[in-house]
Structure 1
Amino acid sequence: MNTSEQQFLNALDDKLWKAADKLRSNLDAANYKHVVLGLIFLKYVSDAFEERQNELKELFQKDRDDNIYFMPREDYDSDEDYQQAIADELELLDYYQEKNVFWVPKTARWSTLKSAAALPIGSVVWQNEQGEDVKLRSISWLVDNALDEIEKANSKLKGILNRIGQYQLDNDKLIGLINSFSDTSFRTPEYRGQKLELHSKDILGHVYEYFLGQFALAEGKQGGQYYTPKSIVTLIVEMLEPYKGRVYDPAMGSGGFFVSSDKFIEEHAKEKHYNPAEQKKHISVYGQESNPTTWKLAAMNMAIRGIDFNFGKKNADTFLDDQHPDLRADFVMANPPFNIKDWWHAKLEGDVRWKYGTPPQGNANFGWMQHMLHHLAPTGSMALLLANGSMSSNTNNEGEIRKALIEADLVECMVALPGQLFTNTQIPACIWFLTKDKSSKADRRGRTLFIDARSLGYMKDRVLRDFTQVDIAKIAETFHAWQRGSGYQDQPGFCFSAELKDVQKHDFVLTPGRYVGAAEQEDDGEPFAEKMARLTAQLKTQFAESDRLEAEIKKNLAGLGYEL
């Protein structure tokens, strides 16, 4: 993305967030996200529909020799008949479905929404199929009606769009939000007079993702249940490289791993001069989520991106109601809630998934890991974000499970992450990379790569740390060089390729810091004895200065009638 495009998106984020934030006085973040994201979705489907409609108009109006779709103007009795014929043809469903564009009924289109919202409450906004006048009840009703109509017309969206009427919102604030979205061109964007090569799907997808992040920040701990920080998702996707195959996330939240996989494929296709749309046909995504609201957010996220998805028939508990029992995925990625205590059920006793040991009933970490391994294809790879305790804990069978995983040669790479990366927890985290086949790129059998990334990243604000693209590239390239068996070298303080005997020596503890050691210090050429003498003399001088200043302060206070 060039500078102008980035500046345009930053300005757009700021403008739309400020408009959306006006709803805060009426709603908390957990609720007003549904209002805002619902409007973003309506804007997207309407823009995509209009974009396709404009393409069709151009095709229909071509000269006779070039027009395979439509009869030319001269074959009609009048221009009025010709224009009416085009208008009728533009309302045929098949033209939109063939391009994977959602059908948007007239009463749900953004142009209808905008013009109707400008009318006084009680005004006639359209006539129904029976020819009866339909009057404007409220702006919330107008939006919900649009969502109803879109769901009815697109079976893929049935049951996933959240209605906003329940929140009893102020009409004027909703009108302001609709106007803010209307004032921005998502189809032909410009920035300071320069036309940008951004499509409405890219822009609205970016806005949707930005808003998810902002809502997660606003909601704090609760928000982290549906949002994994973008840089961590990007890091995992860059390391796993999901070019083609089945991608699965059993704790998908709002679907961030799928979005990043989609972007990764698109960028890879451009680099290799492939057709991105063709490349994406080689990927299929499968997800599961227990929270019904988050399940809907993820489905909307996929719909905005044009990603085909299978999230099961409903939201459901991954352990107790697996929506993809027969799936064997090529890539599995997840950021489940850390250290869940209340997860066990009697029916999980003796479950086929517990191949490496029954997980403790008071912690789901190794339950998630073994569920993912169960769904991993024989040549597949997986990445799992977990609390740091998973690397060293020996309580309640966790140590035995970890030992069994290591002895089965499943652990490919361990990455220790810096603190303060998450909006919802300060628990230190790590990434486990596992595979059932360590010989797919080079023979790495019997070896595990340890990466200590705790010193990487920067503080983006007072409380949150983030990775730069350089940080992500450093970690991913180290991993790929090790996988290929060429260009890799151990780097003290950062990475180390360990053999099974090294891990056994550390009692099967997988904390990277134990293996990578300390970073080499640069030799400044000063002999140690001389440096020690110099630093000791410097410290003595500083102590003396400290004593002098303390005496001066006491003297001044005494002059004011105070004593320390």
Structure 2
Amino acid sequence: MAPKGFADKVAFVWKVADKLRGTFKQHEYGSVMLPLLVLRRMDAVLSPTKDAVLDQAVASGALKADRKTLGKAVGEGVDMLLKRASGHRFYSLSPLTFASMLQNDKELAEQLASYIRRLSPDAYTVMESYNLDDKITRMDRAGILYPVMADFADLDLRPSVVSNEAMGYIFEELLRKFSEMSNETAGEHYTPREVIDLMVELLLHGRTHAELTENPKPVRTIYDPAAGTGGMLMGALHGITQANPDAKVHVYGQELNAETWAIAQSDLMLQDTNPQQMAQGNSLTQDAFSGKSFDFILANPPYGVKWSSYAKPIVDEHEKQGFHGRFGAGLPSVADGSLLFLQHMLSKMKPTGSRVGIVLSGSPLFSGAASSGQSEIRRWILEQDWLEGIVALPDQMFYNTGISTYVWILTNNKAAEDRGLVRLIDARQLGTKMRKSLGDKRKELTADAIAQIAQLYGGAKTEFADDPKVRVLPREKFAFQRIVVERPLKRRWEVTPEAVAAAPFDEYAHLVGRRFDTERALLTEVSDLTAKAKKAFATACAIADPEAQVITKRNGKPEPDPELRDQENVPVPAGYFDLEEAGRDKALREAAETHLIRVVHPYVPDAWIDHTKTKVGVEIPFTRQFYMYEPPRPVEDIAAEVKELEVQIQEWMKGLGL
């Protein structure tokens, strides 16, 4: 539940944003308001200890005695002393405040820029990522900098009035509103609030929720490798603290985009979180939390993004480290790195048990043939029995795409009754159309819909057995063996005009029309040719004939006909993933031979399976599991409708005088 009074603060800042109209486009409002909100909060938080910090800065040489002139650069030791003096993880070496800057409107832009430059290194890095200097100049030239700053100076954000938790809610609500206003690009970095709420609900359901509530002071860690603006981290944090207000929650994240990282970092900074816990960079190539594991790992990575431009370190890790690294299971197509993010997240699970939630497009469910990188990754996940369930979301849920999306929930600590099973929930019809679309987002999940999905997901295996939106299936249901069915090579040899048309075979034109039962008989007639020429001539004269004799190898076994070769998918037997490697091979062979006898031999009795070419694949054909056959309309009804339309058209034609 949001803290009391937070809505008033949100409304105040939202009203201030109206002053930007005409100077900035709507999608730019957030990049101005959010950093100013952060600055005002820091100004209010640092006010009680400002003199102590400045005194310490003078004593340390970071400031001159006049407090207005910078001294030597702040080293690590001095930085720690100044933080201790401020009582916070950041400080300011500027004697200015929001109130004092307003005393000179002509120098306001310069003073504000100076105020930002004198923030502590961590805080300055965040503000620099907002690229605020250019925006300050634009506001100053437009004559709106002073009124905007004056409004922010009137905004009371003292810690005694607004707690860190409340400040987080204010920042996140404004971020949501500004993100929705800039819906053209919001989807790249912002996940709709209701999707986050659903993911958190699924991650915390059942015994996980019970463990949180029964523990008097649980400590939990959360990680998002594609943090964006930090919405998922904050959503999970609030979900845990709502379950148990005494819970101690530590959030960690990494984000590639600098300005988006600054937003996420600001949110954490306003809640007095260590800035080292929100890293900037590509988590696939520059893992900022290598060797660290977490209780909850969740993300909404970018869909269908090519990773070829930074493939080398990923490929190297896969080839050199295997399963000792993050990508041992396989590498997906360079056209989509979603499954790289999933493997990275799974590598962050604690040995004692973690829960993972990820939003993916439909492609990772089924793309890639048997033995491809994508299939091998899915196969590895099922072998480990980590996939708990998948929820299909309604389409048109995100700001910059209308494609279908799915929430995967994985864990390395399944409940005993869930082992070997995967639950699928079809929530595609549970979306509600919005009164006003936001970019491509035209649907949303209401609180009731989220509760219904969570109930379907968390129900017992038999509780919703007849519900058309629920499937609880053994993991083997998604695995298959791709078998190669061979048929014997049957050939006869006939010398044709085409075969002898090319030199050096034209001298055998007298043989045109002759038929030979064996290749040897044909070659006897052209014994003076070289071995290479004989082979070419025999190939040119070979004709497929189902009535001809079977061509055999030296060991007497039939030669397979590549033109008649076929491939089929055969389900793996029940309990396949529970078997040892040798047992799996035997089970696959037996299942394939049974399929051959029952399905193939009634039509092609001489076929056989080449087991050396068998490949095991895994795909999750979600929509197929929920397909409902709808019989076509009766012909009589269609004919009657056509006649009715013909009569209507004739009436229209009469009205036109035709």
Task: Compute the TM-score of the two structures, normalised by the length of structure 2.
Answer: 0.61
- Cα deviation digits, residues 296-349 of structure 1 (max 9, x gap): 11110112234445336x522212211111111121111111121134422322
**For residues 514 and 41 of structure 1, what CA distance do their matches in structure 2 show?**
49
Larger Rg: 2
What do the CA deviations read for 1:176-232 (whole angstroms, capped 9, x no partner)? 33344455556799xxxxxxxx94645543443233334434544543232111111
For residue 357 of structure 1, the aligned residue among 310, 316, 330 is 330
Residue in structure 2 matched with residue 469 of structure 1 by the alignment: 447
2:313 maps to which of 337, 347, 350: 347
Q: How far apart in 1 are the matches of 2:628 and 2:467?
A: 6
Relative distance call for 1:360 and 1:550 in structure 2 (3 A) is: closer
1:509 matches 2:609: no
Indicate which of 104, 114, 125 corresponds to 1:145.
114
One-letter amino acid matched to 2:247: Q
Match of 2:196 among 224, 227, 233: 233
1:556 and 1:289 mapped to 2: Cα distance? Answer: 66
The residue correspondences of 1:350-389 to structure 2 (distance < 5 A) are: 350=319, 351=321, 352-378=325-351, 379-389=353-363
Candidates 268, 273, 285, aligned match of 2:251: 285
The answer (yes or no) to whether the contact 2:221–2:296 under 8 Å persists in 1 is yes
The residue aligned with 2:475 is 500
> Residue 294 and residue 553 in structure 1: after superposition, are their counterparts in 2 closer, same or farther (change >3 A)?
same
Q: After the TM superposition, which of the residue ranges 26-35 and 459-468 deviates more from structure 2?
A: 26-35
Q: Output aligned runs, 1:99-498, within 5 Å.
A: 103=91, 107-113=95-101, 115-116=102-103, 119-121=104-106, 136=107, 139-149=108-118, 151-152=119-120, 156-162=122-128, 164-167=132-135, 168-171=137-140, 172-182=143-153, 199=162, 201=164, 204-220=167-183, 222-241=185-204, 243=212, 244-269=219-244, 276=245, 278-280=246-248, 283-308=249-274, 310-311=276-277, 315-343=280-308, 344-349=310-315, 350=319, 351=321, 352-378=325-351, 379-395=353-369, 396-439=372-415, 442-460=416-434, 461-462=436-437, 463-464=440-441, 465-482=443-460, 488-498=463-473
CA offset digits 1:79-110 (Å, max 9, x no partner):
xxxxxxxxxxxxx986862xx58656774544
Aligned ranges for residues 4-153 of structure 1 at < 5 Å?
9=7, 13=10, 16-17=13-14, 19-23=16-20, 25-28=22-25, 32-48=29-45, 97=87, 103=91, 107-113=95-101, 115-116=102-103, 119-121=104-106, 136=107, 139-149=108-118, 151-152=119-120
Alpha-carbon separation, structure 2, partners of 1:539 and 1:110:
78
**Displacement of 1:502:** 2.7
Give 1:445's aligned amino acid: R
- In structure 2, the CA distance between the partners of 1:173 and 1:491, relative to structure 1 (3 Å rule), is farther
Q: Which runs of 5+ in 2 are unaligned?
A: 50-81, 213-218, 480-570, 573-616
The Cα shift of 1:26 comes to 3.2
Output the aligned Cα RMSD.
3.7
8 Å contact from structure 1 (residues 48, 200) kept in 2: no
Identity of aligned residues (%): 24
Counterpart secondary structure, 2:270:
helix
Shift of 1:479: 2.9
Contact 1:354 1:370 in 2 (8 A): yes
CA distance in 1, matches of 2:360, 2:252: 21
SS at match of 2:146: helix
What TM-score, normalized to structure 1?
0.71
Secondary structure of the 1:513 match is helix
C-alpha distance in 1, partners of 2:388/2:404?
20
Task: Give the conservation status (yes or no) of the 8 Å contact 1:416–1:511.
Answer: no
8 Å CA contact 1:492–1:517 kept in 2: the answer is no
C-alpha spacing 1:450/1:551, structure 2 compared with 1 (3 Å): same
1:332 counterpart letter in structure 2: I
Partner AA of 2:176 in structure 1: G
After the TM superposition, which of the residue ranges 330-339 and 176-185 deviates more from structure 2?
Answer: 176-185
Partner SS state of residue 437, structure 1: coil
Given that 1:48 and 1:101 are in contact with CA atoms closer than 8 Å, whether structure 2 keeps it comes out as no
C-alpha distance in 2, partners of 1:239/1:309? 28
Q: What corresponds to 1:273 in structure 2?
A: none
Summarize deviations over 1:502-540 as a string: whole Å, max 9, x none: 333597332433335559x9xxxxxx9xxx99x978995
Aligned partners of 1:186 and 1:203 also within 8 Å: no
Secondary structure of residue in 1 paired with 2:285? coil
Q: Number of residue pairs matched? A: 458
Q: Match for 1:145: what amino acid?
A: S
The DSSP-based 3-state class of the residue aligned with 1:443 is helix
1:404-432 Cα distance to aligned partner (Å, 9 max, x none): 22122121111111111111222321111
* d(CA) in 2 for partners of 1:469, 1:310: 34
Q: Deviations over 1:13-70 (max 9, x none)?
A: 56633532543533456655332111111232344456x79xxxxxxxxxxxxxxxxx
Q: Secondary structure at the match of 1:25?
A: coil
Q: Is the 8 A contact 1:216 1:423 kept in 2?
A: no
- Which residue of structure 1 lines up, in the alignment, with residue 592 of structure 2? none
**Per the alignment, in what secondary structure is the counterpart of residue 370 of structure 1?**
helix
Q: Tell me the residue number matched to 1:272.
A: none
